[in-house]
Structure 1
Amino acid sequence: AVQDEVKSYIIEHALMPGDALPPETELAEQLGVSRNSVREAVKSLETLGIVEAKTGAGLFVRNFSFDPLLENLAYGLMFDLQDLADILEVRFHIEHSMIDQAVAAVTDEQIAELRTLLTHMAAAVAQGESYADADRLFHRTLWTNVRNRSVGKIVDIFWMVFAQAQRRSAIPANPDHAAVYQWHVDIVDALAERDVEAARVAMVRHYGNIQTLLDEMRVARNGQATLTN
């Protein structure tokens, strides 16, 4: 496909984010394809967040972003709760299996940050409001100091996919926010005590709540389908 050839061109010419690609006509000549083919390929690559066309300036390599991937994943998962459950399972196994690294690497400053986030979450629970932003930052902060720098990024991606799919779903979600908050407290307490097993137990409880939410969403969706038939 032409879009693959354009990506190969970027790699072979060692173009970095912000670097300009040749004009469409010149790029088409170098690739041996039509200008229309290059234009369609560019549109696809823009959708994927790989290149960016700036009016009057030309075509440029973009900084890599997971946003287009997240948008597409969330949209697809909105229709298939089993896929969403599978994503959740992968995220759980990553966090559960690597929590020992988080415990070993955690600092007092990190624990203080997590407790501050817990304060925000507690205030939201008391007001009956969402604490999604604090929850996302909680999981980001949890993995700040682990050796594998990709863990936090992967967990954050899965968090965003789940949150966006849940938000876009027409099925109402009614999690027990107080219980979820308490399990976050248990995770921080385990980190402060450098207790790996307690951290794992708290993580299991936390994900068990999310799985229950998914089950409720599935039941509600099936109920809606029955009513419309």
Structure 2
Amino acid sequence: MKSPLSAKDFEAPIVRESVAELVVRRVLDMVKAGVLKPGDALPPERDLAVTLNVSRPSVREAMRGLTVLGVVRTRQGGGAYISDLSPDSLLGPIQFYLSLDQTNIAELYDVRMLIEADVARRAAVNITAEALAKLEESLAKQQDTVSDPIAFRNADFAFHELIWIAAGNAVLKRIGESLNVLGLEFRKRASETPGVLEQSLRDHRALLDALKAHDPEAAARAAEAHMRNVYRSTIKQGIKAEEE
């Protein structure tokens, strides 16, 4: 027989959402349902308050929260709209969290190693001759831009994007994309350090060779080794920055 409830069962307080939190939830639900789409303008603050039957200060607080989340952007001169909902827009709060402690960065790259290895494993099975040709073109661009960190990072993203697509899983592609964006801010300083981009170029060549051979395990090992090298150079520059 189930034991009767005790006083301890009621010790946890009931958490009540503020009106502003309810407004945030309503807007997020509308975005999820496709009622609000990227670029859509939101009604003026006054109209929103009337429509939702809440106070204008509650709407104002909700808009600030949605802006921090990257879901809403404000225009100069007034007005708010739904952002493009890209990883760049939505990952700001996580990026801030990662910047608080190097342990967080280590865990980010631990996840990247797992994800990129599995992506490479799947891509080695599914990749087409056309995609392999595009990867060769991307690698050639990286070779040409090895002295230009910004151009190299763009070519690097394009290279990985081709592999995410070749893996044949839209969710994995989105995750890989998001993790790449999260790591980029910490990667910028490292990419300007002599020898780092050359190492990435060698890593990419090894990964592409494994994909060409359609060898899933070799591709996974190459992707994991690449992420490990990226992490090492990134964390090394982070330590140097703290010492300066």
Q: Same fold (TM over 0.5)?
A: yes
Q: 1:159/1:8 Cα in 2 relative to 1: closer, same or farther (>3 Å)?
A: closer
Match for residue 103 of structure 2? Answer: 82
Measure the CA separation in 2 of the matches of 1:96 and 1:194. 14
TM-score scaled by length of structure 1: 0.80
Superposed CA deviations along residues 122-173 of structure 1, whole A, max 9, x for unmatched, are 1223xx332111111111111113332021221121112211133379x974
Unmatched 5+ stretches in structure 1: 225-229
Q: How does 1:107-146 map to 2 (within 5 A)?
A: 107-125=128-146, 128-130=147-149, 131-146=152-167
1:51/1:61 contact within 8 Å kept = yes
- Any unmatched runs of 5+ in structure 2? 1-17
- Residue identity (%): 29
Q: Quick check: 1:162 aligned with 2:183?
A: yes
Aligned residues: 221
SS of 2:175 mapped into structure 1: helix
Separation in 2, partners of 1:172, 1:2 = 47
Structure 2 counterpart of 1:86, one-letter code: E
Q: What is the alpha-carbon distance in structure 2 between the residues aligned to residue 132 and residue 21 of structure 1?
A: 35
Q: Which residue of 2 aligns with 1:2?
A: 19
In angstroms, what is the RMSD of aligned CA positions? 3.0
- Maintained 8 Å contact 1:5/1:31: no
Contact 1:47 1:68 (8 Å CA) reproduced: no
Contact 2:71–2:82, Cα closer than 8 Å, also in 1: yes
Whether the 8 Å contact between 1:183 and 1:206 is mirrored in structure 2 is: yes
In 1, the alpha carbon distance for the partners of 2:65 and 2:26 equals: 15
SS of equivalent residue, structure 1 residue 144: helix
| Aligned counterparts of 1:53 and 1:198: Cα–Cα separation in 2 | 47
User: Aligned pair 1:178/2:195, yes or no?
Assistant: no
Residue pair 1:190, 1:198 contacting (<8 A) in 2 also: yes
Query: Which whole-Å CA distance do the structure 1 matches of 2:227 and 2:76 have between them?
Result: 46
Aligned partner of 2:98: which letter? Answer: L
Residue 148 of structure 1 pairs with residue 155 of structure 2: no
Instruction: Please name the residue that 1:216 is paired with.
Output: 236
CA offset at residue 190 of structure 1? 1.0
TM value normalised by structure 2:
0.76
1:153 and 1:179 map into 2 onto residues whose CA distance is 26
